[in-house]
Structure 1
Amino acid sequence: MPTLTLAAAQSVSIAGDLAANLRTHLDLIAAAADAGVELLLFPELSLTGYEPTLAAALTLDGADAHLRPLREACRVAGLTAVVGAPIQGPTGLQIGALILGADGRCRVHTKQYLHPGETPPFVPGNGGDLLEVRDVKAALAICADSNHPAHADAARAQGADLYLASAVIGPTGYPADSALLAGHARRLNMAVLMANHGAPTGGYACVGRSAFWQTDGQCLVAAPGDGPCLVIVRRHAGVWQGELRALRS
């Protein structure tokens, strides 16, 4: 059975600087491709930084010309990347994730559960469909989504065996949030991959420590702290192995 390789991209975003953040994403996609990654998960609002006051001027959609280099890089590398950006939805401004497929297509997923401080400017979204990489069915959670057990329960009921959490987590929130993610894995027999920002964003001193939890709730591999890196997991013959790759800032 061929090895399946997934990774969390612990990226560093510059507030509102889409051009610089696109370059960072391209570098991380290239590094992931070099490692044979098939699914690459970025943190919440990774393309713009977690900047609610700037979000309305930075919205993206799947057809946006800014995304063409990322979409082409994913197509050439044969990987799927999940990147974060504000979305102008039918009911207002939403926190979105753009799923850039290995086939060159783009799908949009939106955050369903907002923190109290996120509204306004954001309104809740409707989530999205599961994404599939070979025999793995993955559900996407955008930060606060994963704080609600009902969200993880619904993902498992839809057939997900992998939970992807794009996050913005600071030092005070990390113990509780990581315990929740480990609990989802153990309670639902569903592996969890979490990507956190590797530097401060939107006033949050993000701690990094992106991680992967196996279905028994045990953390297989985690970044030791902040800074840019890839947290890579490989599954061969049903067994997961972890790897860390530090990257230059």
Structure 2
Amino acid sequence: MTALTLAAAQTFSIPGDVAANIQRHLVMMQAAAEHGVQWLVFPELSLTGYEPFLAADLAIAPESDVLAPLREMARELRLTAVVGMPVRLAPQAGVLIGALVLGADGSIGVYTKQHLHSGEELAFTAGQGGEILDWESERIALAVCADFSHASHPRLAAESGATAYAAGVLVSEGGYAADSALLQGYASEHGMLVLMANHGGPSGGWTCAGRSAVWTADGNLLAAAPGVGDALVIAHREGGLWTGQVVAL
């Protein structure tokens, strides 16, 4: 079994400022590569912040040139990054909450949030999910926030052969205990490594909890950010054993 390093990127997003947030993502990707990370997941709507009523104006097609700096960095670093962005799959289509997979090989994949929070339907259309990603010897299933509040979502991922479950989220202080307990439970119930990438500062009027985390397939906490702020929560596998590390940025 080859060595593998995955990570959750905990970031603070500047509301609606895609250009500035891209620069922050580039810094995070560079730092991740310096720590040997090969696969990196960012929070929900990381490139815009959680700003539902700006989403229609900010939404892009997945192949948009807006993402060119991130895609080039991914290729240069040989790092796959999953970034959060409102997307339209056709010019007149509804706005979806996207997790865009910027491949180390230059490819781009699209996951769209399947389960909307109450009220999100005012700005977004429910998506269709996406394919499980093969990376080295792992099969990684994606989730965006409320997806994981439906037990069927991680169960179907596990039944489809996923060995890891990576969620880009916005979790508030008030919701953190319940949401992190759900994710920890899925890790042990389904035997999957679980990564949670949360916002590291306020977004969309929410006081985000930070504390991004990784749980091993037996449900044990491998590593977690201690609070808010930019950080990498890293999971490294060597010889079949996982170790964790938190890097504050």
What interval of TM-score do these two structures reach, taking the shorter chain for normalisation? Answer: over 0.9
Q: Which amino acid aligns with 1:32?
A: A
Instruction: Quote the offset at 1:132 in angstroms.
Output: 1.5
Instruction: Quote the offset at 1:61 in angstroms.
Output: 2.4
1:147 aligned to which of 149, 152, 155 = 149
Structure 2 Cα separation of the partners of residues 246 and 95 of structure 1: 27
Instruction: Quote the offset at 1:106 in angstroms.
Output: 0.8
Structure 1 segments of 4 or more deviating over 4 A? none
Count of aligned pairs between the two proteins: 247
Instruction: Quote the offset at 1:48 in angstroms.
Output: 0.4
1:67-82 → structure 2 map (5 Å cutoff): 67-82=67-82
* Equivalence for 2:198: 196
Instruction: Quote the offset at 1:147 in angstroms.
Output: 0.6
* Equivalence for 1:24: 24
Instruction: Quote the offset at 1:66 in angstroms.
Output: 1.4
3-state DSSP class of the match of 2:161? coil
* Equivalence for 1:134: 136
Structure 2 gaps of 5+ residues are none
3-state DSSP class of the match of 1:103? coil
Query: Percent same amino acid among aligned pairs?
Result: 53
Structure 1 gaps of 5+ residues are none
Does the 8 Å contact 2:133/2:139 carry over to 1? yes
3-state DSSP class of the match of 1:44? coil
Q: TM-score, normalised by structure 2?
A: 0.97
* Equivalence for 2:218: 216
1:2-151 → structure 2 map (5 Å cutoff): 2-89=2-89, 91-151=93-153
Does the 8 Å contact 1:130/1:137 carry over to 2? yes
RMSD: 0.9
Q: TM-score, normalised by structure 1?
A: 0.97
Does the 8 Å contact 1:38/1:133 carry over to 2? no
Cα deviation digits, residues 197-244 of structure 1 (max 9, x gap): 000000110011000001111111100000001001100111100011
Moved more, 33-42 or 60-69: 60-69
Does the 8 Å contact 2:13/2:46 carry over to 1? yes
Cα deviation digits, residues 100-152 of structure 1 (max 9, x gap): 00001111110000001201111110000011211100000000001111000
